[in-house]
Amino acid sequence: MPEPGLEKPVSMETATPEQHVTMDEITALAKRRGFIFQSSEIYGGINGFYDYGPLGAVLKRNVKNAWWHDTVELRDDVVAFDSSIIMHPLTWKASGHIDAFHDRMVDCKTCKHRFRYDHLTDTSQCPDCGTKDSLTEPRNFNLMMRTSIGPAEDTASVAYLRPETAQGIFVNFKNVYQSARKRPPFGIAQIGKSFRNEITPGNFTFRIREFEQAELEYFVPDDGRDMDAFAEWVDRRKDWYASYGVRPERLRFYELTAQERPHYAKAGIDVEYYFPWGWGELESIAHRGTYDLDAHMRLSGKDLRFFDEASKAHYTPLLIESSAGMDRTTLTFLIDAYEREKSVDPNGKETERTVLRFHPAIAPVQVAVFSLARNKPDLVEKARGIEAALRVRHRTQYDEGNIGQLYRRQDEIGTPYCVTVDYESLDDNTVTVRERDSMRQERISADALARMFGERL
Ligand code: GAP
């Protein structure tokens, strides 16, 4: 778990990368095109909760798949896991969450607004209404969400929604290494929902109360090579962000100082992105030593150590953790892909376009197929046929009508390729393929599409 209260405030760096997009533009696009909606909007919304629309759900799934592919599927030393959201309450006693997972909060006695104490730069006056000496003394506020199990709502039935997925892995460490026949170094990975009763949710889906984490817990022997394993995972995560095209100048790997790290951690890196409001954390990578397994062994009385057949000795492996927020990463891909630029429409007129330059593996739609006219059955049938054939291998969409509007819509949702079926297509079986970023168009045979997209996507 993170050291409570030690989360760094979102910092405003002096060396600022370029960031033109505003959060208003992102939230408006997200709503207009069906990426992200405020949860329960018809009832006025609920603070800190969001829903993913038809495109957003696919976008987020692609982000998770990209993480899963690199962290689990491409490794022979990482196994998959999926633990329950509600665990035995003693889990959270051992992990320290019950006693220490708080943020400090203060209230303004004048305007009644609530703030996280560590987010305030000046505590002498309220940052919202400006009243001097109006803030209460800071109080601890536990961030875990409580629920109750069974028909009686008494203290015996109290349970918690997990604030991180990692503990499900730690308590199962022995089950996993024995059943999967793994020996350190090896990792256990899972993606799942976590819940935190954040005092001040905000910045769209950056700080929310229900979110998804992708966590890798990598266990290594204490043989002097643990820092190499740490460095290898940091490099791998750097490569991951780079391979999906996140702009390098908006990404930084901040090395935590000994004062910023929990006392038991030997090393820590925060992966940060430059959001429209400044730097914000996407992921934390930490060397946590034996802290987590030790804590569960102490409270449960169960031996979770690894038995090394070669030396016939038990030992507690060291832990390297990489913990990434999937909602924050999805938001990052959305912001990073966003551009407004001048362009020329098919009639030669200068216009402005909004384009999301998603990596093809991340784009919710990869190929859009259009019929130039709505009411021409031959065209519609041909275009639908092409779309249906491409759908087997790619994420596709069929549409029809005004070509300028169709391109504009697909640019806004980040579709890398559009294919247009027109009257000529009926004669010679050729179609126009238009590429999103360059807006270059080429005329090719419809029979060549499968192969072309197979290579390019
Ligand atoms: N097991 C380690 C752990 O949970 P953390 O730094 O507290 O570490 C890891 O969380 C990641 O989870 C963060 O870097 C962030 O991406 C995501 N996360 C944490 N709290 C969040 C919140 N309230 N809303 C969205 N994402 C959050």
Q: Is 440 domain-assigned?
A: yes
pLDDT number for residue 12: 42
174 and 303 co-located in one domain: yes
pLDDT along the chain (457 residues), means of 10: 42 66 97 98 98 98 98 98 98 96 93 92 93 94 94 85 98 97 97 97 97 98 97 98 97 97 96 97 98 98 94 96 98 97 79 95 98 95 98 98 94 98 97 97 98 97
Burial of 36 (0-12, 13-18, 19+ CB in 10 A): buried
313 and 413 in a single domain? The answer is no
Residue 152 forms part of a structural domain: no
Q: Give the CATH number for residue 68.
A: 3.30.930.10
Shared domain check, 199 and 300: yes
What is the predicted pLDDT for the residue at 156?
A: 79
Say if 8 falls within a structural domain. no
Residues 426, 380: Cα–Cα separation, whole Å = 11
Q: Work out how many domains the chain is built from and give that number.
A: 2
Q: Which of 316, 334, 352 is the last residue of a domain?
A: 334
Q: Is the CB of 142 under 6 A from ligand 1?
A: no
CATH code at position 403: 3.40.50.800
- Out of 334, 357, 385, a domain closes at 334
Q: Which atom of ligand 1 is nearest to the CA of 325?
A: 16
201 and 303 in one domain? yes
Distance of CA 47 to the CA centre of its chain: 19
Residue closest via CA to ligand 1's atom 18 equals: 325
Q: If you measure from the C-alpha of residue 263 to the centroid of ligand 1, how many angstroms do you get, rounded to a whole number? A: 19
Q: Distance, CA 194 to ligand 1 centroid (Å)?
A: 9
DSSP state string for 51-70: EE-HHHHHHHHHHHHHHHII
pLDDT of residue 71: 98
Answer yes or no: do 235 and 329 share one domain.
Answer: yes
270 is in which domain, residue-wise? Answer: 23-88+163-334
Mutational pocket test of ligand 1: of 209, 264, 323, the residue with most ligand atoms within 8 Å of the beta carbon: 323
User: Is 167's C-beta closer than 6 angstroms to any atom of ligand 1?
Assistant: no
Does residue 356 lie within any of the structural domains? no
**CA pair distance 457, 452, nearest whole angstrom:** 8
Query: Which one, of 379, 382, 387, 434, lies nearest residue 406 by Cα?
Result: 434
- Does the residue 49 lie in any domain? yes
Q: Are residues 35 and 178 in the same domain?
A: yes
pLDDT of residue 15: 67
Check pocket membership of 237 for ligand 1, CB cut-off 6 A: no
Please tell me the predicted confidence (pLDDT) of residue 13: 46
167 Cα: distance to centroid of ligand 1 (angstroms): 14
